[in-house]
Amino acid sequence: MEEATERRDSRVSTVVDVDLGSRSYPIYIGSGLLDVPDLLQRHVHGKSVLIVTNTTIAPLYLDRVVKALTQGNPDVTVESVILPDGEKYKNMETLMKVFDKAIECRMDRRCTFVALGGGVIGDMCGFAAAAFLRGVNFIQIPTTLMAQAIVSDTVDSSVGGKTGVNHPLGKNLIGAFYQPQSVLIDTDTLNTLPDRELASGIAEVVKYGLIRDADFFEWQERNMQSLLARDPSTLACAIKRSCENKAEVVSLDEKESGMRATLNLGHTFGHAIETVYGYGQWLHGEAVSAGMVMAVDMSRRLGWIDDSIVERVHRILQEAKLPTHPPEVMTVEKFKSVMAVDKKVADGLLRLILLKGPLGNCVFTGDYDRKALDETLRAFCKN
């Protein structure tokens, strides 16, 4: 991973490179980047562009992105498809609307798809790009902290090439690994983000500190109030550090054969919550927050971490106004039935990401005492 600054336009404060050989790509981070045409145009290979966005984001940013793509570039034709907003629409039926538009507009293999929105839009547009004509170029423009920080798994979703849709029996079970041409993060878009969605994105930021970056976690403890207050320099620092962490992991393990799975701390429990409770009832980061607390609790029961880490995790998530307990609808059996079809199950064995050792260390393993999992589930469920 290489970082560069001030490339071609002074508004690009940081560039983080995701090093994947021929599939490498830059993440541009800065204020006002939607108004810098060259940052988008340099990554459009053909003459046709399809912007995929939703009913919330389109009125705010669609015209600006169209202008950035076409300014001084009359040969490019830009079309758009506006999808309904929300996790509950992240399914095959909604995805077909993207294919319908692309086919109606006679897009060819030289076209470029642009994902303009949060993690749901990024996941669906990326999957559509991977499947349409067996693969076309696409660009990510994440507009939520969740998507910017995971640029993830949405602070994850725009970085790393994970794409897909949900199934009624499980989250993100249908998808592909498919890398974008570039990711453009205009930090000004966070100004229009509701407080609840900002907090949801912070959950993914906290995750990076827990699994691999203790210094970053300590920085968050000192700066959480500034993050919640949307201080521009604090938000930019959090996004940059999160992107650097993810880029390094993805560069080493693009298709989640081992190390990359650690980015899913709390997600096995969290995805079960989203599946049972109903997609969109809780935001993804809210479910991950409760899931991280459960994973940390299990790590303590195994004797892998001390009580001080458990207390610090509770404290920082509560300060961020995030859930530290699953909704009452969750039962032990409901958790187990959904977790049994989780993507991290291998040969019938559920593997989990758990903390082990000092802060900033974790393991991805199926080698743990099942009693600890049962005890954690019973402790967080009423029945």
The catalytic residues are 134, 162, 204, 246, 256, 260, 264, 267, 271, 284
Q: How many CB atoms lie within 10 A of CB 63?
A: 11
Q: Quick check: 157 and 200 in contact, CB under 8 A?
A: no
3-state SS of the chain is CCEECCCCCCCEEEEEEECCHHHCEEEEEECCHHHCHHHHHCCCCCCEEEEEEECCCHHHHHHHHHHHHHCCCCCCEEEEEEECCCHHHCCHHHHHHHHHHHHHCCCCCCCEEEEEECHHHHHHHHHHHHHHHHCCEEEEEECCHHHHHECCCCECCCCCCEEEEEECCEEEEEEEECCCCEEEEEHHHHHHCCHHHHHHHHHHHHHHHHHHCHHHHHHHHHHHHHHHCCCHHHHHHHHHHHHHHHHHHHHHCCCCCCHHHHHHCCHHHHHHHHHHHCECCECHHHHHHHHHHHHHHHHHHCCCCCHHHHHHHHHHHHHCCCCCCCCCCCCHHHHHHHHCCCCCEECCEECEEEECCCCCCEEEECCCCHHHHHHHHHHHCCC
Q: CA-to-CA distance for 216 and 120, rounded, in angstroms?
A: 26
